Amino acid sequence: MPFHHPLYACFPGVVKVGQETRVAIVPEGSSRFFREEDEYEIWVGGMWDDMVDYHDPLIPNAPCEVKDGYLWFTFTCPEEMEYSVRFRKKDGAYVKIPLYAVEEDLFERRPLKGDLHVHSYYSDGKDDVLMTAAAYREMGFDFYTLTDHNRYYTSEMVQEGYKDVRLGMTLLRGEEIHTPGTAVHIVRIGGKKSICDRYINDRENYEREVAEVEAAVTGVPEQYKHRFAMAKWACREAHKEEDSIVIFPHPFWRANIYNVSRELCDLLFDAKMFDAFEVMGGGPDGENNLQLSLWQEQCIKGNIIPVVSSSDSHIHAFMQGQFGRTFTVVFAKSNTQKDILDAIKNGWTAAAEISAAGSENIRFYGRHRFVMFAQYLFHNYFEIMRHMVAGEGELMRAWLREEIDGETLSRLADVSTNFYKRFYGLMPAVTPSDSRKAFYEKWRDYHVTKGPKTNGTSLEFYPSGKNKANR
């Protein structure tokens, strides 16, 4: 499991492979500021480096200096992987913190946390449409999609409801398609018009078009031909629109039997009509485990398909179902609908599942390269981001209750983007201002010179002017 230190962090925390980078070790608070009068050593090593004996002594290999209370070092990471940065006051004990280096193709993509399968009380959920968006932002999500059953307009409602304010998250349009007469569900994301409306409001033309698709289907057993044709029609119609993808969700959802038979699953995967597979969904662990196994087997067969993980949430309080616990990490060129969907289609994803036992027990699925990076990001980036943007989620609620104005809410829209830029070194690390340093030094000097020296109930007095406090 990638380690995270609660008191120190590297900025930037993500660097480019092969590029000499100046990195700051940033302490949490002035009590751990590095002092210019002290001498420090740093060793940096790749987690996949070959080390015959981990008891070998660590030879410092990164030049460092103290400035503004931070410890700065320069290093060039030769390969894409996680690195262990170990620093110490000379002859002291090492402190270990992580750093990650990525190739340029991954560095130029922003890591985003999102949920692609969500319901409101407009279908079979429990919560308000606009408050649901606030709940997701409070949990640190960069994007989410409301995908009510047979309803596209509720996702339009979300966008319209927030159109007069700036948000740090992206609200995608979507719907969960249930063509009449089949248990095959399809999650559709993006586009500008509903697929569901076609079979709800224009049934005659819908049935004619499905019949045409079915007439052209070959190699599918008769008992599945009509359901196969309906799925193919829905995917075809979705793909007619730009920035529109389709996801195959929860085939192992249990009613009386599994939602989709094994034979029909194989036919749908073989047809390669979907853009992604929901490898982790809103069901219990057993169903998700079967979906993971199915995806692995399909990949072995040659049906390579990108993975996503979604909550299929119907109520939006943490630890209620899968809300906040199953999500997709998307490596996109920007936090826009176009770039998010393009990244998913091209497999720039890692599917996440947090155990009910807590966030220390998280699993990722997908390409090994993305899984390794996502694990690092979860503990060292996404969890920090979650705390930073929770206030924006709370203010979204306050704005919906009309307790604050839109300008107050909009001021927080850039918090997540600015943190991303600092974490990737696209903005300089923020160092203490002269006034802040003067404040800390004033009270540190008072503490050291005035004393008294004390530890718990013990108290030592010194002659006037000679007090020396604990340091």
CA–CA separation, 405 and 264 (whole Å): 52
Per-residue pLDDT at 426: 96
Per-residue model confidence as pLDDT tens digits over 294-351:
999 999 999 999 999 999 999 888 667 788 999 999 999 999 999 999 999 999 999 9
How high is the pLDDT of residue 222? Answer: 96
- Judge whether residue 455 has pLDDT over 90: no
Q: What percent of the chain has pLDDT over 90?
A: 79
Q: Which DSSP helix (H) or strand (E) runs through 385?
A: helix 383-400
Residues 180-196 pLDDT 10s = 999 999 999 999 999 99
| Number of CB atoms found within 10 A of residue 428's CB | 12
Find the Cα–Cα–Cα–Cα dihedral 33, 34, 37, 39, rounded to 10°.
160
Residues comprising the chain, all counted: 471
What is the C-alpha to C-alpha distance for residues 302 and 337, in angstroms, rounded to an integer?
A: 29
Up-side HSE of residue 265: CA atoms within 13 Å toward CB?
Answer: 18
Domain boundaries, the chain: 8-106, 109-415
Angle at 425 between CA 107 and CA 170, to 5 degrees: 65
Task: Map residue 377 onto helix, strand or coil.
Answer: helix
Output 156 or 52, whichever has higher pLDDT.
156
Residue environment code for 9-28, b if the CB has 16+ CB neighbours within 10 A, otherwise e? bbbbbbbbbeeebebbbbbe
Q: Give the model confidence (pLDDT) of 124-171 as tens digits.
A: 888 999 999 999 999 999 999 999 999 999 999 999 999 999 999 999
Please tell me the least confidently modeled range out of 119-123, 224-228, 303-307, 461-465: 461-465
The answer to whether residues 132 and 118 touch, using CB atoms and an 8 Å cutoff, is yes
Closest CA to 148 of 167, 168, 165, 132: 132
DSSP count for the chain of H helices, then E strands: 14, 21
- CATH superfamily of this structure's domain 8-106: Immunoglobulins (2.60.40.10)
Instruction: Tell the CATH superfamily of the 109-415 domain.
Output: Metal-dependent hydrolases (3.20.20.140)
89 near 303, Cβ under 8 Å? no
Q: Which of 410, 417, 256, 414 is nearest to 334 (CA)?
A: 417
What is the predicted pLDDT for the residue at 166?
97
CA-to-CA separations, 191 to 30, 89, 153, 237, in angstroms, rounded: 50, 57, 12, 10
Burial of 73 (0-12, 13-18, 19+ CB in 10 A): buried
The residue type found at 386 is: R
pLDDT at residue 337, as a whole number: 96
Collect all residues with Cβ–Cβ distance below 8 Å to 93 and sequence separation of at least 6. none
pLDDT digits (tens, 9 = 90+) for 36-51: 999 999 999 999 988 7
Residue 54 DSSP symbol:
T
Most confident of 18-22, 427-431, 448-452: 18-22
Dihedral, CA atoms, 103, 105, 110, 115, nearest 10 degrees? Answer: -110
SS (H, E, C) 192-242: CCCCHHHHHHCHHHHHHHHHHHHHHCCCCCHHHHHHHHHHHHHHHHHHCCC
39 or 52, greater pLDDT: 39
C-beta atoms surrounding 234 within 10 Å: 25
Give the angle subtended at the CA of 376 by the CAs of 59 and 320, to the nearest 5°: 150
Average pLDDT over residues 203-225: 97
Q: Is the pLDDT of residue 1 over 50?
A: no
Q: Which residues lie closer than 8 Å to 237 by C-beta, 6 or more apart?
A: 195, 198
| CB-based burial label for 442 (10 Å; 0-12, 13-18, 19+) | exposed
- Give 412: exposed, middle or buried? Use CB within 10 Å, 0-12, 13-18, 19+: buried
**If DSSP codes are grouped into helix, strand and coil, which group holds residue 65?**
strand
CA distance 395 to 405: 10
Compute the mean pLDDT over every residue in the chain, rounded to the nearest whole number: 92
Give the mean pLDDT of 213-241. 97
Q: Is the pLDDT of residue 86 over 50?
A: yes
Closest CA to 378 of 365, 390, 366, 362: 362
